[in-house]
Amino acid sequence: MKKLLSGILGLSLLLTACQAEEAKPEPESTVVKQEASSEEVSSSTPKTKLTLSESQLSASKLIKDERQGIVPTRLKIPAINVDAPIDPAGLTEDGDMDVPNDIVSTGWFERGYMPGEPGNSVIAGHVDGKNGPAVFYDIGKLKNGDEVLVTGEDGSELVFVVNKVEIYPFEESPLREIFGFSNGSRLNLITCTGEYNKKGSYYEDRLVVYTTLKTT
């Protein structure tokens, strides 16, 4: 690879895995019926950007490693009843990270690392939509030791284990830790959280679930 990083050095990534049309009370139920809905997320989502520098994202090309990643197609998180498709997410013309077009799908940042290879693979999902919870509504409830299962296009499955859950102010997310190179095989899940800013139409914080590949 490491294809990450030549494509986004000097560009900005959008961490807007959230609904952004209007503020609303939290739904009573947190159950997401992912197989049925095709509700689209508002295209007016504001694009607050976080700049990635070369030093933040430079991958070591000197380390030889035989671990191979997979192209992910499905995400399962048994602890919160998530079973959702994974779509590739690249960069928009403005250099922002693309996000899913609906509330039931997740998006894998394909310009970064593949799940299973050394590095931080990233999957984003919306927290809610116009009418209720979205696929990542409950990921803040995950605890250390919970498992995240990723199925590849070849049918193989990788198991990742949650090791921490963090919340960052909107413009203070540690991008290198989330997107950059690591010796370990990691998968990070991203969504929005915190107060909803009505004036700017965005959530004020970002929630990141950090996971590490389970070894046998």
Give the start-to-end residue ranges of the domains of the chain: 3-24+33-56+81-213
Q: Which two tokens stand for residue 61?
A: 């090309």
Q: Is the dihedral of CA 203, 20, 75, 52 positive or negative?
A: negative
Give which of 134, 40, 155 is closest to 80, Cα–Cα: 134
pLDDT for 30 equals 36
Give which of 157, 142, 155 is closest to 214, Cα–Cα: 157
Provide the pLDDT confidence category of residue 214 given band limits of 50, 70 and 90. Answer: very high
Counting Cβ atoms within 10 Å, is residue 29 exposed (0-12), middle (13-18) or buried (19+)?
Answer: exposed
Provide the pLDDT confidence category of residue 90 given band limits of 50, 70 and 90. Answer: confident
Higher pLDDT residue, 11 or 166? Answer: 166
Question: By mean pLDDT, which of 61-70, 86-95, 207-216 is the weakest?
Answer: 61-70
* For the ranges 23-37, 53-67, 192-206, the one whose mean pLDDT is highest: 192-206
Q: Which residues are paired to 116 by β-bridges? A: none
> Please, what is the Cα angle at 161 between 159 and 194, to 5 degrees?
120
pTM beyond cutoff 0.85? no
Question: By mean pLDDT, which of 1-10, 68-77, 119-128, 177-186 is the weakest?
Answer: 1-10
Residue 9 in contact with residue 54, Cβ under 8 Å? yes
Describe the chain by its helix, strand, coil percentages, rounded to 5. Answer: 10, 40, 50
* For the ranges 17-21, 117-121, 212-216, the one whose mean pLDDT is highest: 117-121
Q: What is the DSSP letter of 180?
A: S
- Tell me the mean pLDDT in the region 20-49: 41
- Tell me the mean pLDDT in the region 10-14: 42
Q: Which two tokens stand for residue 200?
A: 């700017």
Check whether 61 has a pLDDT greater than 60: no
Written as one letter, the residue type at 172 is E
Question: By mean pLDDT, which of 45-49, 68-72, 179-183 is the weakest?
Answer: 45-49
CATH architecture designation of domain 3-24+33-56+81-213? Beta Barrel (2.40)
- Tell me the mean pLDDT in the region 79-85: 98
Start-end of H helices in the chain: 3-8, 54-57, 175-179
